[in-house]
Amino acid sequence: MIRRLTKSLTVCGLMFLDAGGAVEAKSPALAMDVSGHGPAVIFESGLGQGQANWKAVVRPLEACLTTVTYDRLGVGRSPERENRDAPVLAVAVAQRLRSALHGRNLHPPYLLVGHSLGGLYVQAFARSYPDDVAGIVLVDAASPLEPPGTFVSTVPPVPGTVEAAEERGVASSVAALLSGPPLPPVPLVVLVAADHHDTPQREALWQDVQRRTAALSPKGRLEIVQAGHFIQTDRPDVVIAAVLQTAREAGADISVCHHR
């Protein structure tokens, strides 16, 4: 249900960084679009997906938040990965993103928004750099709490693609997430899609996984959305509302956005 539509996972902390991850973290600059005013909200897309996924969400937020969308290596306008066959490890994604944010003089704490497997990248970032995170929104996101092998694609990615590399990093990233530091106790909104065109039993199991994911923070809550997997395009209003709520709970002044 999930991984076939999303990105790859992130690893938990720098203690899991191997030689391949360290090399990749020093790779060329990422394509990044920054606009708006106020605290920075960072959007992380799903498997092989680029920043265009968030077009319907970012514009209404720019009056009170600094919106940041970007393409990972091998995606969209960003450079290719040096070793296309190497698995994408979450720790390298999180480290590279943090370096790119600092390079653009975007100062923490950040609001993090992650869709699908991008939600795992977000969780890895938050676990690795808890002081850099003010709040989290997960959009029908993959979770380390999924039963192993349950929500996987029946059609494997094409070899040599970024999707294949991201998928290959999933198992190691999940293991690192489960054994690494906990999610920080920040405001957390977990949006879960109600319609994946799957069986009622699997939809119920997915909602249970998401409910337990929301419980990873004492400030977490779950919202079931009548939409497909890409909630940000089916129901951008719901994602916008979740971002604004998280920002408000984190102490940001979002009154300008509410008055628009």
Q: Say if CB 129 and CB 96 are below 8 A apart.
A: no
Cα(232)–Cα(126) distance, integer angstroms = 21
pLDDT at 3: 43
Residue 119, pLDDT score: 94
CA distance 26 to 200: 45
pTM of the prediction? 0.89
Q: Which domains does the chain have, with CATH numbers?
A: 3-258 (3.40.50.1820)
Listing from the earlier edge strand, what are the strands of the sheet with 32-36? 32-36, 66-70, 40-44, 110-115, 133-139, 188-193, 220-225
**pLDDT of 259:** 55
Mean pLDDT over each residue of the chain, to the nearest integer = 87
pLDDT digits (tens, 9 = 90+) for 61-100: 999 999 999 999 888 889 888 888 899 988 889 999 999 9
What CA–CA distances, in Å, run from 41 to 37, 158, 222? 10, 32, 20
What are the tokens at 91? 């720790």
> Among 163, 143, 147, which residue's Cα sits nearest to residue 155?
163
Write out pLDDT tens, residues 116-129. 989 999 999 999 99
List the pLDDT tens digit at each of the 260 positions of the chain.
Answer: 444 343 333 322 223 333 333 334 444 689 999 999 999 999 999 988 999 999 999 999 999 999 999 999 888 889 888 888 899 988 889 999 999 999 999 999 999 999 998 999 999 999 999 999 999 999 999 999 999 888 877 788 888 899 999 999 988 999 999 999 999 999 999 999 999 989 999 999 999 999 999 999 999 999 999 999 999 999 999 999 999 999 999 999 998 887 55
* 55 SS3 class: helix
